[in-house]
Amino acid sequence: MEKATRIPELDGLRGLAILLVIFFHYTNGYPLTRFDGLAYYVQRSAAEGTTGVDLFFVLSGFLIGGILMDARGSDSYFRTFYIRRFFRIIPIYYLWICLYIALVFAAGPAIQSRSFSGRVLPRGFEVYAHFLFIQNLVPFNWSAQSGLWGSWFGHLWSLAVEEQFYLVAPLVITWFSSRQLLCVTVGIICSAPLVRVLLFLHVYQVDCTRLMPFRADTLAMGIFAAIIWRDPVSRLWLSRKIQAIYWTTVIVFVLGLGLHYYGSGLEGFGVASLGFTWIAIFYTLLLLMVLVESKGWVARAMRAGWLGAVGRVSYCMYLIHWVMDLLFHSTFLHARPQIVTLPGASISVMAAVATYALAAVSWELIERPLVRIGHGFRYSMSAGKQAA
């Protein structure tokens, strides 16, 4: 009963997402001012790179939601889903955590001296919480200024959000019909920003950017797209309104760009309350644009071979990219990552290329074989259900 077919444009969207994230992390080692010249404006532009995580969330909602809707009624619905997710996510993620633990215990002082943070590298619960995907529930200090610790784990809160989403999504999708699920997703999309607004108004300096319930609108947006894409009537309507989708996407992008650029980052009220939903709307429109008009220029751009290649190895790139930047700057320039000078910018480009190369090796030797094992488990359906 396997219905899913690979959509090459989605690999391109993944590639776009990871490039946005890398662009942000590699240009935001420390705050710059206008006196730093071009590097300052590059850093301000790179602020939009944080939305690469939102694009990952929309894609996860679309793909996981679609897979689960297609598998509803399967006798192995939960078992197959979680086994496949295990082989795709857990091995390389756990390997990444264990590598940190091994390095710290084997050469902690030497590594710390080249971390440029002045902070003792954590060894306790701050590390082990990542095995349970609860790192987004505990207020750890994992900023870029935390050196190796921040570069190794600071961005992995988003994996916790996704894993927590995987715990909820199969239950919700199997409980509700497609029509009911559409209402549920719309309710989540509308209520999540309202909850964030209430938190900002009544709870002092609450950080809702890393908690799954408060980012659920972005994931629900992906499920919403999966529902309407699987409905023939909705798909036909979208194909007839492609020009309207293009113009709406442009308008949402321009307005969202201003909101994010002048909204004081993720801590700003506009971005962290309504802004996340606005960003999710933009990426959902971009996704639908790619799906509806496969011959359009956006879809052709997402089918670019190099971008798809980056997208295929984006998971490993996401895990390792921040540490790779720190490693390259520490090795060649003996300093914290920065882009103010030409050598610094060049080293960051080298780190990005090396990140892709290492991720490609990981894909061929580790991840692809594990994915094949996971896909050996199929969504089965009894003869009685098939007849029905």
| pLDDT of amino acid 388 | 47
CA distance 355 to 350: 8
DSSP 121: P
Largest CA distance in the chain: 72
Give the pLDDT of the chain (388 residues) as one tens digit per residue. 555 567 899 999 999 999 999 999 999 877 777 777 788 888 877 888 889 999 999 999 999 999 999 999 899 999 999 999 999 999 999 999 999 999 988 887 778 777 776 677 888 888 999 999 999 888 776 555 567 888 999 899 999 999 999 999 999 999 999 899 999 999 999 999 888 888 777 765 556 778 898 899 999 999 999 999 999 999 999 999 999 999 999 999 888 776 665 555 555 666 667 888 999 999 999 999 999 998 899 999 999 999 999 999 999 999 999 999 999 999 999 888 888 889 999 999 999 999 999 999 999 999 999 999 999 999 986 544 554 4
In whole angstroms, give the CA distance from residue 289 to residue 245: 7
Residue 258: the pLDDT is 65
Q: 0.85 cut: is pTM over it?
A: yes
Straight-line distance from the first to the last Cα atom of the chain, in angstroms, rounded to the nearest whole number: 14
Under a CB-based contact definition with an 8 Å cutoff, are residues 62 and 225 in contact?
yes
CA distance 116 to 103: 16
Q: Which residue has the tokens 């030409």?
A: 342
Q: Report the distance separating Cα 241 and Cα 235, nearest Å.
A: 10
119 dihedral zone (left: phi>0; alpha: psi -120 to 50; beta)? beta
Task: Let me know: does 50 contact 348? Beta carbons within 8 Å.
Answer: no
- Extract the tokens encoding 15: 């590639």
How is residue 273 annotated by DSSP? I
